[in-house]
A = this chain, B = another copy of it.
Amino acid sequence: MSTRKFCLAILSNGEATGYEIRKIAQEGRFSHFIDASYGSIYPGLAKLETEGLVTWREESTAGKPTRKVYSITEAGREEFVKELRETPVEDFFRSSFLLLAHYCQWVGEDFIKDEIDRRIEHIQTQLNDLKELRQEVDESGSLWTIDYGIAMETASLEYLTTNRSRLEAIAREPVQHRQAAE
């Protein structure tokens, strides 16, 4: 129940449409540790409505599609705080890059070199995005989490640049089959 909690989170500091919530999830101050697409947000909001945790009103601006502007109810606020307090605080991290690194001998040195390059570039982009975001954001809570993100990306970048040659050397080692292939 993550999208649900995230919707309540966003709505707890202001009205928003489903479209906007998704945008925040993808570009905004939560994007480095949250994930949500239309296919989970719209049904999520609909469900929250049936539970009485959010309401909405229609808003028509000339020349734009009609929007459903959601806002949180008192019950929604209570539920959100309750979930913040009760949900076990555990992070979820799944890395296909580390799996690839682990099996770098199977894909070869050239391939892994390219992937490291791509990853370094990607982290640099993320860092720039975070630093830009940092300028735009005013809430102190946001700043703290953005700084956390910056610290982690920086550490990741540092590890990669100082240890890439080591991984490339591993990729050159012969593959160890421990059993005969069937």
On A, residues with C-beta under 8 Å from B are: 2, 5-6, 9, 12-15, 29-30, 32-35, 55, 71-74, 77, 80-81, 84-85, 87-107, 111, 115, 118-119, 139-142, 144-145, 147-148, 151-152, 154-156, 158-159, 163, 166-167, 170, 173, 176-179, 181-182
- Alpha-carbon distance between A181 and B147 when the two chains are bound, in angstroms: 30
A181/B30 in contact, CB under 8 A:
no
Contact partner of A2 (CB less than 8 A), chosen from B94, B155, B173, is B94
Q: State whether A144 touches B156 (Cβ < 8 A).
A: no
Q: Are A13 and B81 neighbours in the complex by a CB distance under 8 Å?
A: no
CB distance from A85 to the nearest CB of B (A): 6
Say yes or no: A103-B141 contact (C-beta < 8 A), given A92-B94, A94-B92, A97-B89: yes
Interface of A is mostly: helix
Give the complex CA separation of A72 and B34 in angstroms: 35
Measured in the bound complex, the distance between the Cα atoms of B147 and A79 in whole Å is: 40
A32 to B84, CA, bound (A): 24
B156, A152: Cβ atoms closer than 8 Å: yes
Sample of 9 further A-B pairs with CB below 8 A, known A102-B142, A152-B159: A9-B99, A34-B99, A35-B94, A81-B106, A102-B145, A139-B176, A144-B167, A152-B155, A155-B155
